[in-house]
Amino acid sequence: MAQARILVVGGGIAGLTAALALARHGFSVSVLERAAQFREVGAGLQLGANAMRVMAALGLAPDVASRGFRPDAAEIRLGDLGHQVFCLRFAQNAALRTAYVQIHRADLLDLLVAAVRDAGVALHPAVRIVKIVENTDSVAGVTEDGQRFEADILIGADGLRSAVQGYVLAPQPPRFTGQVAWRATVAADAVPAGLVAPRGTIWVGPGRHLVTYFLRGGQLINIVAVEERDDWREEGWMLPGDPALLRAAFADWHPRVTTLLSKVSETYLWALYDRAPLPVWTKGRVALIGDACHPMLPFLAQGAAMAIEDGWVLADCLARDTGTAGLARYASLRQGRTARVQGAARRNAGRFHRRGPVGRTLEFGPMALANLFAPWVLRRSMRWLYDHDVTGGSGV
């Protein structure tokens, strides 16, 4: 039944990747997006080799790489002293050398929108689904004013506060993690040459961390600064932030950090949410993907990467079987891996934000020793994440 109709609710990275993979298998695909335009908020995104293999299999890797930036390594540094604790050089890792890209979200979304259009996917902006109605022959997404979009399968790719999630099982509200993130970009030519290394750098300190990397071939520097807070009382989850407060939060850090933050003129503040792994991802003709089923802290830079892997696996499972067995196979292939990544991202919060001299020495001392004397131990510890290939060899 290769011509089955598939409705994707949500036109973010998860929804568009799934739509593209499904269209390549010959399905008739429509994407419904509540926003008036298909666009992404926020700035940069890191895509590890596991996500880039899917981009390669979809034929998008060269464009993603040319619109983004290829770092030489990922490193951890102490926020106050500036000492390097750990450095994973991508040139030493076959999989990562070929594929690790940092890209502006807007650029990735533009590429995905162009690709799904070329593949014949029908895009419907300004359509907000509030209800799912299912019967034995079909399923429909319904808007507030009663407009119905009918299909054989419906995919909930509608993010953290997913409406489709509440159909699949009782609504599971995401939880505030006690962390907020400032996000900002700075033009690379506004800072002294060499201030920011051409790699993903995680500056760590008690209760805080800050990540820097380049975007757009090195023209732009992306900054994500995270601080523990228990006082998020705002209605929204994203607010304009005050650059002066961002600078104050990191005022006692290394001059490379404070000099960079002195150039920030605009910033947004995000409350960070996640959720315990959902036990059920599918119901009848409906399945969840991306943040709709596994929102996670961004401390492993893998939320979008998991959404991209989901999209590929779901399309592959439906190409084999468009019935409930196909959806069940998708869930069984993805639940364990995404739960593991959710847990690892959460554990990184404790690791990066370790307090007190003893706690910090116990955390970073062994890492620094392994970095000096046995760097392969650290590389090996990341293989489960980056070497995973959902494309079965069709990607890089």
Q: How long, in residues, is the chain?
A: 396
> Of 209 and 354, which CB lies nearer to ligand FAD in the complex structure?
209
* Spatial separation of the C-alpha atoms in residues 46 and 21, rounded to whole Å: 21
| Rounded least distance, CB 1 to ligand FAD, Å | 25
Report, in Å, the least distance between residue 77 CB and ligand FAD: 18
If the CB atoms of residues 105 and 365 are measured against ligand FAD, the closer one turns out to be: 105
Task: Report the residue number, 98 or 147, with the smaller CB distance to ligand FAD.
Answer: 147
Decide whether 227 or 291 has the Cβ nearer to ligand FAD.
291
State the nearest-atom distance from the C-beta of 36 to ligand FAD, in Å.
10
Minimum Å distance from CB 272 to ligand FAD? 6
Residue by residue, what is the 3-state secondary structure of the chain? CCCCEEEEECCCHHHHHHHHHHHHCCCEEEEECCCCCCCCCCCEEEECHHHHHHHHHCCCHHHHHHHCECCCEEEEEECCCCCEEEEEEHHHCHHHHHCCEEEEHHHHHHHHHHHHHHCCCEEECCCCEEEEEECCCCEEEEECCCCEEEECEEEECCCCCCCCHHHHCCCCCCEEEEEEEEEEEEEHHHCCCCCCCCCEEEEEECCEEEEEEEEHHHCEEEEEEEEECCCCCCCCCEEEECHHHHHHHCCCCCHHHHHHHCCCCCEEEEEEEECCCCCCCEECCEEECHHHCCCCCHHHCCHHHHHHHHHHHHHHHHHHCCCHHHHHHHHHHHHHHHHHHHHHHHHHHHHHCCCCHHHHHHHHHHHHHHHHHCHHHHHHHCHHHHCCCCCCCCCC
From the CB of 2, what's the least distance to ligand FAD, in Å? Answer: 25
Which of 100, 167, 213, 273 is catalytic? The answer is 213
Least distance in angstroms from the C-beta of 184 to ligand FAD = 11
Q: Which residues contact 371 (CB under 8 A, 6 or more apart)?
A: 84, 85, 86, 87, 378
Active site annotation includes 213: yes
Q: Which residues bind ligand FAD (CB under 6 A)?
A: 9-15, 32-35, 45-46, 128-129, 157-160, 163, 181, 183, 224, 270, 290-292, 298, 301-305, 307
Q: Output 152 or 291, the one with its CB closest to ligand FAD.
A: 291
Based on CB atoms, which residue is closest to ligand FAD, 144 or 230? 144
Report the catalytic residues: 213
